[in-house]
Chains A and B, each alone.
Chain A
Amino acid sequence: MRIPPRQVQTLVVGMLGGATLLTLAVLVFIVVFVLDKGLPVVTWTFLAANPEDMGRAGGIFPIIVGTLLLPLLALGIALPLGVGSAVYLNEYTRETQMTRIIRFGTDCLAGIPSIIFGLFGLVFFVGILHMGWSLLSGGLTLAIMILPTIIRTSEEAIRAVPQAYREVSCSMGATRWETVRKVVLPNALPGIVTGVMLGAGRCISETAAVIFTAGTVAQMPVSAFDSVRTMAVHFYLLAREGISGENAYGTAAVLILAVLILNTVAYWTMHAFIRRKAR
């Protein structure tokens, strides 16, 4: 028996649509589940108080501070390196053996799992460079981790700047560096912001690499050599050791909200960027 192609198509499209709905349903379920259980716990005192009794009581203020400082430090290191790499690859060279090696390295780095970054940070920054479990070790490790993300998004942003802009700049006698600084980078800025948001999102979601390098001390850091605890780590410790279900959900809710906001801003800036370019 042969089923007419039209009916096959209807059937298949139905199945593909079902798969898409299922995927979206999983996303909605995760977000709603966490927010539903967690949001009632999130009050101003929860956000502004210190954790007490290993996180059973009190709030998450030093943990929020840690979650802000660590990505800031990581981005402070990865942003100049990533944007600089992207500028070199697009503005200063043609496709050569060298650029192929650089791109290969970037792609490989992007595929390395976070636990390997954690092991490396533990040996190199914590051990050999004597930084200990600290903000600095964690920031450096995460900087390497998000470097490929920053390079890729910056490259795309820089490539989207019309060639005519560069030609006009050069025809007015500007050097290549002046063109990069005054024409290319300002026009690529929104795309670079997208990379920053995505990088920050990866940093605050990360757990394994952070535990290995920044430690788990839930106190206000005073210097770059103090250990910090991020929200993802705090959530993991509370949930896995079964210390406090309630505060775990509260932390997860704040974490998910932060991730949602970062991703939305990233998408929105990129979209605005593309629209402006299309005009």
Chain B
Amino acid sequence: MRLSADKFAQYTFLGIACSAIASLMLIAVFSLKEGLPFILWYGPVEFLTSTNWNPQENQFGVGAMIVASLWVTAGAMLIGAPLGVAVAVFLSEFVPRPVMRVIKPAIELLAGIPSVVYGFIGMMVLAPLIRRHLGGPGLCILSAAIVLGIMVLPTVISISVDAIGAVPNSFREGALALGATRWQAVRMVVLKAARSGIVASIILGMGRAVGETMAVIMVAGNTPRLPHGLLEPVRTLTANIAIEMSAAIGRHREALFATGVVLFVVIMGLNSLAMAVMRRKGAR
């Protein structure tokens, strides 16, 4: 009786453990089922490269949005990656443990702040500053990149801190014993050993930046045209879906799901890349 209960529990847990992978499959299947037929009907090349998005006239090219997502993400990483890695190095190597215990949760709190709040502050504080001092409409690539650069910090910092923490202490001691300063030990030994984890943190941060929606809608300006400078308004892939979905029917709706497929493929690519990088050096 007890043993059969044990067997029953085992199979129940196995079933439950499949829930995550089952959800992932469902999401993949339904995204593709809704979006793929449209992409094939419209022509994959035309859909991905045309910069003409005009649903009223059945023009559904997402080229401009892909370029916009690239610009915004690249900008965000230029800000977020160096800043995040710098904070991670400082916290793990140059700060006493008790201080780190206070600062790390504070930084994790940054991840808890709702993205609409980031977007709102970007809209109310950052965009007017840019408009006044740099010109343009204010709601633009630069504002979006700065807001997203801040939003990816918790991801970059916490994974980098883990990676640096996983470097054995004997590595540092070896370098110090050879007469290196702490910074030389960090630069020449610790950062080299933690490299794969740090790279993975940046790739995962990139995934967050590509996928962020609400904050971007509020600060990027949302014009579906090819941008020619950092101060021009753009519409990213995510913003395109969120803005138009409520009013979309028929082909237009299918085109938005197809936009989702593009996003899904990019994100899965980035995730797999991050996992491959982490596994290669076995840094946890």
Contact = CB atoms under 8 A, between A and B. Distances in A.
Interface of A: 5-6, 8-9, 12-13, 15-17, 19-20, 22-24, 26-27, 30-31, 33-34, 80-81, 84-85, 87-89, 91-92, 101-102, 104-109, 111-120, 122-124, 144, 147-148, 151, 175-178, 180, 201, 204-208, 211-212, 232, 235-236, 239-240, 248, 252, 255-256, 259-260, 262-263, 267
B109 A207 contact: no
A22 B107 CA distance: 11
A8 B117 CA distance: 39
Contacts of A178: 2, 6
Contacts of B6: 175-178
B200 to A, nearest CB: 11
B113 A85 contact: no
Interface string B107-119: 1111011111110
A235 B27 contact: no
Contacts of B105: 263, 267
Contact of B17 (A23, A84, A211, A255): A84
Contacts of B9: 176-177, 180
B233 interface: no
B182 A33 contact: no
B83 A22 contact: yes
Contacts of A27: 106-107, 109-110, 113
B26 interface: yes
A256 B238 contact: no
A109 B24 contact: yes
B12 interface: yes
Interface stretch (B42-50, B70-78, B164-172, B265-273): B265-273
A17 B24 contact: no
A51 B214 CA distance: 23
A205 B114 CA distance: 4
A122 B21 CA distance: 20
B211 A116 contact: yes
A85 B17 contact: yes
Chain A at the B interface: SS class: helix
B184 A105 contact: no
Interface residues of B, number: 82
Given A30-B117, A88-B17, A256-B117, A108 B271 contact: yes
A176 B13 CA distance: 12
B193 interface: no
A207 B215 CA distance: 10
A94 to B, nearest CB: 13
Contacts of B53: none
Given A16-B86, A205-B114, A256-B113, A115 B16 contact: no
B183 A8 contact: yes
B64 interface: no
Interface string B90-128: 110010000000010111111011111110110101000
Nearest to A181: B9
A177 B2 CA distance: 9
B34 interface: yes
List of 5 A-B pairs having minimum Cβ-Cβ separation, nearest first = A113-B211, A105-B21, A84-B16, A205-B114, A16-B90
B215 to A, nearest CB: 9
8 contacts: A101-B21, A104-B21, A111-B271, A120-B27, A176-B9, A177-B5, A205-B115, A235-B114
Interface in B193-218: 204, 207-208, 210-214, 217-218
A85 B204 contact: no
Interface stretch (B54-62, B224-232, B256-264): B256-264
Nearest to A151: B20
Q: Max chain A CB contacts within 10 Å: which of B31, B180, B181? A: B181
Q: Max chain A CB contacts within 10 Å: which of B10, B13, B24, B275? A: B13
B34 to A, nearest CB: 6
B153 A113 contact: no
Nearest to B94: A13
Contact of A262 (B19, B106, B112, B246): B112
Contacts of A260: 109, 112
Contact of B210 (A8, A108, A113, A236): A113
A153 to B, nearest CB: 13
Contacts of A148: 20
B245 interface: yes
A113 B117 contact: no
Contact of B87 (A19, A31, A267): A19
Given A115-B263, A235-B116, A236-B116, A16 B87 contact: yes
B177 interface: no
